[in-house]
Amino acid sequence: MEVVKSFFETPEPARFTGIWSWLFTLDHKRIGLMYLYAIMFWFLVAVLLGGILRLELMFPGETVLSADLYNSAFTLHGVIMIFLFIIPALPAVFGNFFLPIHIGTDDVYFPKLNLLSWYLYMAGGVVAIFSLFSDGFADTGWTFYVPFSISTNTNVSTAVFAAFILGFSSMLTGLNFITTVHKMRDKAMGWLQIPLFTWSLYATAWVQLLATPVVTITLVLVMMERFFNVGLFDPARGGDPILYQHLFWMYSHPAVYIMILPGMGVISEIIPVFARKSIFGYKAIVASSLAIAIAGSLVWAHHMYTSGMSDTAVFVFSLLTFVVAIPSAIKVFSWVATLYKGAIQMTPPLFLSLCFIYLFSVGGLTGLVLGAAGANIHVHDTHFVVAHFHFTMFGGTGFAFFAALHYWWPKMFGRMYDFTKAYIAAILVTGGFMFHYVPMFILGLQGMPRRYYDYLPQYAGGNFFAGFGALFMILGIGLMMANLFASLRKKRDMESNPWGGVTLEWTIPSPPPLHNFVQKPKIMVYPYDFSGIVDTPANKSEGA
């Protein structure tokens, strides 16, 4: 392939140089990387906060955090992880970078809107930080439940406003992706020739666009309640506190699918490449992405079984919750079936993907425990919920993010990381994860409530072990990031297709040029046809 300048050397617009060429860039790849740096920063901050929370819980009584500080710390941990890391992580970083390439085009449909989304994301983060230094960060948890969020003296309004701004960033990204897929897809690419990661982004974008306005307006209502005492959620004035929960979860449950769907898309990309085999059930995976997006938007009230809503609603939402497990299971079956009799080549991205499948399956199955109304009432608001949520969101989306980083890193930066360190880090994170969250399932079943800085003596053992797990996990994350970023010191000499992938990003140079394609992309009849792949350069470049 002829040598072409990468997007690192060709700013867009061309008149800007240095830092300005990044801050004013309209190139989807640079915007993706700007998200990456910002998201990594917030992720590490939230990991640190999570570590401090676990340190507090490692021993009974007050150790490193007071009760009030603990409340603010877990709220901040949740707000950062949800709104600044998990929701934007995969769509904003890898979606921005790879969606246009996957569909054979040179950018997203609205490049300026794309940059605005990044600025809104940054503004949301700055406002969240600002709220820390004015009357203290909210102590409500990331759910901002009324009536407490209306009556507490901490700075709920600013924290809520931060989430409001971040909501706009998410909506604009979703709008951009939907329009791009419809309007800018290569004319030779039919709907059933689109790579599965892009399909998952498309399904996610619809949820972002439809559900996010609900929570943004709900958060505005919370502010109105705080400033003007409107009475929307106050029964004494004819309001309904359960209405807040409906409105909040109407977004926030679909939001977990905003978080997990792109993760599933990443795994659907990685598994066939390293199994050297066409993905099993392409159409079923596409259909299940859409089914998850639709059905997942109709199960929100399973968070509210103990809120006092009607038994009829409990029955309906419990039933629907079981329905949404079906498309998720279809994906897991398809991934495992893809691996079956494949010529498996173990690499760090595949290893992390396998960890994803295991952890997400545990998370999904424990979700059914919570979806069943009877069982839910016993473990509601206990550490069982904390463990389930982290198994799906961290074991799921978090591990998919790690897998995506390791899979697309050589394409984005043109450099390969050290495989041995990558494996050690992945084992540390996964082992630490299990050690950290499995005790929480047991603690939850024993009745330990969540969101308390202290506990009864019988819970001491489990919390002590969970703290150790957290330590290993944090060490693993640190090693993983250090290993990836250490590779940036190497010479940029990565070939275009180190893994032997077949989607369009592997047909262009690493890193890609400004307009992605030097020649008109050749669209394959089927996007996962590995019959033309005979060599696997990753083996040669391993640890290089």
Partner 1 sequence: METESHIVAYKTLGLVLGALLVLTAVTVGASYIDLGWMNVWIALMIASTKAGLVLVVFMHMKFEGRAVVWSFVSTVLFLAIMIGFIFWDVAFR
Which residues neighbour 182 within 8 Å (Cβ) at sequence distance 6 or greater? Answer: none
Among 76, 178, 275, 508, binds partner 1 (CB under 8 A): 178
- What is the footprint of partner 1 within residues 183-212 (CB under 8 A)? 183, 209-210
Q: How far is the CB of 214 from partner 1 (least distance, A)?
A: 8
Residue number with CB closer to partner 1 (209 or 524):
209
- What is the footprint of partner 1 within residues 410-429 (CB under 8 A)? none
From 157-165, 177-185, 223-231, 352-360, span contacting partner 1 (CB under 8 A)? 177-185
Among 287, 316, 365, 438, binds partner 1 (CB under 8 A): 316
Question: Which contacts (CB < 8 Å, 24+ apart) does range 188-194 have?
Answer: 188/104, 188/523, 189/103, 189/104, 189/523, 192/282, 192/283, 192/286, 193/523, 193/524, 193/525, 193/526, 193/527, 194/102, 194/103, 194/527
Q: Which amino acid is at 414?
A: G
Which residues neighbour 17 within 8 Å (Cβ) at sequence distance 6 or greater? Answer: 11
Beta carbons within 10 angstroms of residue 134's beta carbon:
11
Residue number with CB closer to partner 1 (175 or 336):
175
- What is the footprint of partner 1 within residues 242-281 (CB under 8 A)? 242-243, 246, 250
Q: How far is the CB of 297 from partner 1 (least distance, A)?
A: 7
From 19-27, 256-264, 310-318, 375-383, span contacting partner 1 (CB under 8 A)? 310-318
* H/E element, 44: helix 28-58
Dihedral pair phi/psi, residue 18, rounded to 5°: 55, -140
Q: How far is the CB of 82 from partner 1 (least distance, A)?
A: 21
3-state secondary structure of 346: coil
C-alpha distances (whole Å) from 76 to each of 42, 163, 325, 429, 509 are 11, 12, 30, 22, 40
Among 313, 329, 445, 523, binds partner 1 (CB under 8 A): 313
Contact between 377 and partner 1 by CB under 8 A: the answer reads no
From 31-39, 114-122, 303-311, 340-348, span contacting partner 1 (CB under 8 A)? 303-311
Q: How far is the CB of 89 from partner 1 (least distance, A)?
A: 25
- DSSP collapsed to 3 states, 115-179: HHHHHHHHHHHHHHHHHHCCCCECCCCCCCCCCHHHHCCCEHHHHHHHHHHHHHHHHHHHHHHHH
Residue number with CB closer to partner 1 (175 or 337):
175
Contact between 310 and partner 1 by CB under 8 A: the answer reads yes
Among 71, 157, 204, 297, binds partner 1 (CB under 8 A): 297
Beta carbons within 10 angstroms of residue 63's beta carbon:
12
Q: How far is the CB of 291 from partner 1 (least distance, A)?
A: 14
Residue number with CB closer to partner 1 (138 or 261):
261
Q: How far is the CB of 294 from partner 1 (least distance, A)?
A: 8
Q: How far is the CB of 147 from partner 1 (least distance, A)?
A: 18
Q: How far is the CB of 22 from partner 1 (least distance, A)?
A: 25
* H/E element, 427: helix 419-446
Contact between 112 and partner 1 by CB under 8 A: the answer reads no
Among 80, 301, 362, 470, binds partner 1 (CB under 8 A): 301
Contact between 312 and partner 1 by CB under 8 A: the answer reads yes
Beta carbons within 10 angstroms of residue 371's beta carbon:
21
How far, in Å, CA of 131 to CA of 112, rounded? 29
From 112-120, 162-170, 241-249, 355-363, span contacting partner 1 (CB under 8 A)? 241-249
Burial of 494 (0-12, 13-18, 19+ CB in 10 A): buried
Q: How far is the CB of 494 from partner 1 (least distance, A)?
A: 32
Contact between 217 and partner 1 by CB under 8 A: the answer reads no
Burial 454-491 (b: 16+ CB within 10 A, else e): ebeeebeebbebbbebbbbbbebbebbbebbeebeeee
Among 123, 298, 332, 438, binds partner 1 (CB under 8 A): 298
Contact between 286 and partner 1 by CB under 8 A: the answer reads no
Through-space distance between the first and last CA atoms of the chain, rounded to whole angstroms:
21
Total binding residues toward partner 1, as defined by CB under 8 A: 20
Burial of 216 (0-12, 13-18, 19+ CB in 10 A): buried
Beta carbons within 10 angstroms of residue 500's beta carbon:
19
Residues that bind partner 1 (CB under 8 A): 178, 182-183, 209-210, 214, 242-243, 246, 250, 297-298, 301, 309-313, 316-317
